[in-house]
Amino acid sequence: MEALREKAITLDQQDPLKAMRDEFYIPKMPTGKERIYLCGNSLGLQPKRTANYIQQELEDWKFLGVDGHFEARKPWMPYHEFLTRQMADVVGGQPEEVVVMNSLTVNLHLLMVSFFRPTKERFKIMIEKNAFPSDQYAVKSQLEFHGYDAQAGLLELPPSSGCAYTKKEDLLKYIDEHGSETALILLSGVNYYSGQSFPLQEIVEAGHKKGCIVGFDLAHAAGNVDCRLHESGADFAAWCTYKYLNSGPGGMSGVFIHERHAKDFDLPRFAGWWGHDKTSRFKMPDTFQPEEGAEGWQLSNPPILAMAALRASLSIFDEVGIKELRKKSVALTSFFESCIQSIPTERIQIITPKEPSDRGCQLSLRVQGGDKSIFEALSNMGVVSDWREPDVIRIAPVPLYNSFQEGVLFAEKLEKAVLADN
């Protein structure tokens, strides 16, 4: 571990993003010592600049009242537009393909209204076997809403044998075998459990070849990996912004709809005034005419305070750029991996793919024979991580605010926790 510590110090010194950590509040122990925060995959840390962004809207509301819709420094009427280009850059979409609205599960439903169009011959939805529970509930309820049995309508992509994730060849084979009965493929960008990053473009190509609609849930991918959504050709995607995108608890969701659907006004969709053609929105005509592109899926006037928090966070991503971020992320996660592997025990197994292109920043660790007490011991030593029953600890070294030295500190504490657990 000593050699790794030396190396970590050097890597931190050379890190072009080292100053970014100071842009965030790092949670502390009661002693005042900073925690080792490895839970940015669940809730990202608060940028120090967020308060100013929210304060500005509170002030404009205080002094302008309703006039803030047009006269605020950032007028509330078009406020979502102040997020679009930055949000689009993070996921690799074109601005007209992206909008920020609602929260994630709500958006998955709205997108399925348009893009899950089952027929008798082709009615199934393909998801991962260990998909995030909310996504499972959402797709099952969509199947039932359309009159299908949720079990019969669900295709669950299994992990490869002896593996926590699905190898690419198995994934593409599964799509090839089941594609013709599948109406919608809805996979993660990065799986929340294994940390596997899926090859979006190859999934889209395989799915489209079979006539499926292909959408992605990028909850664990947005702000983590380089999604290149437009290039992938995906029909749609949605993600939340409170994980890697640091927009705060319950923060808003982003939506992507490929430009090929931008003017497809025949697609069924649920309507609300904020999705209406902007030029006539306030004339309040009786007939709904959707705005072109992703904006045409909006329903309501959005929560400005939540958008202000996201705007603050996106300004950081805009300064750094997803490519630079990813570069550090690959190095940081590999370094954490080396630190963990240097622990003299056979009990810790990393179940996340080894290849950097097949994972984001997260590492999922299985501790053989371990239980929640290991996680709790870590927690008492100041490590904020995440526990999944029965035996998985997930850590996410986030390139914006985690350091290489934290890799060494984490591994030392993990070693202590595992050795104490006998």
Contacting residues toward ligand PLP, per CB under 6 A: 103-105, 132, 134-135, 188, 192, 217, 219-220, 240
What residue has token string 């011991």? 377
Q: How far is the CB of 279 from ligand PLP (least distance, A)?
A: 32
Q: How far is the CB of 343 from ligand PLP (least distance, A)?
A: 28
Q: How far is the CB of 188 from ligand PLP (least distance, A)?
A: 6
Nearer Cβ to ligand PLP, position 184 or 240? 240
Beta-bridge mates of residue 99: 255
**Alpha-carbon distance 267 to 316, whole Å?**
36
Query: Which of 345, 416, 351 lies closest to 382 in space, CA to CA?
Result: 416
Q: How far is the CB of 250 from ligand PLP (least distance, A)?
A: 8
Q: How far is the CB of 128 from ligand PLP (least distance, A)?
A: 9
**Alpha-carbon distance 257 to 291, whole Å?**
13
Nearer Cβ to ligand PLP, position 94 or 241? 241
Q: How far is the CB of 154 from ligand PLP (least distance, A)?
A: 16
Nearer Cβ to ligand PLP, position 189 or 407? 189
* Contacting residues for 184 by C-beta, under 8 A, at least 6 apart: 112, 115, 116, 124, 125, 126, 212, 213, 214, 215
**Alpha-carbon distance 394 to 387, whole Å?**
6
Helix (H) / strand (E) element for 383: namely strand 383-384
**Alpha-carbon distance 261 to 282, whole Å?**
25
Query: Which of 220, 165, 159, 218 lies closest to 360 in space, CA to CA?
Result: 220
Nearer Cβ to ligand PLP, position 134 or 345? 134
> 185 and 203 in contact (C-beta within 8 Å)?
yes
Nearer Cβ to ligand PLP, position 37 or 132? 132
* Contacting residues for 116 by C-beta, under 8 A, at least 6 apart: 125, 142, 146, 183, 184, 213
Helix (H) / strand (E) element for 373: namely helix 372-380
**Alpha-carbon distance 205 to 262, whole Å?**
20
Q: How far is the CB of 125 from ligand PLP (least distance, A)?
A: 14
Nearer Cβ to ligand PLP, position 135 or 391? 135
**Alpha-carbon distance 114 to 270, whole Å?**
8
| Both tokens assigned to 157 | 């992509």
Nearer Cβ to ligand PLP, position 217 or 386? 217
Helix (H) / strand (E) element for 367: namely strand 363-367
Q: How far is the CB of 243 from ligand PLP (least distance, A)?
A: 6
Nearer Cβ to ligand PLP, position 243 or 413? 243
Q: How far is the CB of 184 from ligand PLP (least distance, A)?
A: 15
Q: How far is the CB of 232 from ligand PLP (least distance, A)?
A: 17
Q: Where are the alpha helices (DSSP H) in 123-241?
A: 133-145, 168-178, 200-209, 229-232
Nearer Cβ to ligand PLP, position 188 or 385? 188
Query: Which of 178, 204, 199 lies closest to 353 in space, CA to CA?
Result: 199
Nearer Cβ to ligand PLP, position 174 or 192? 192
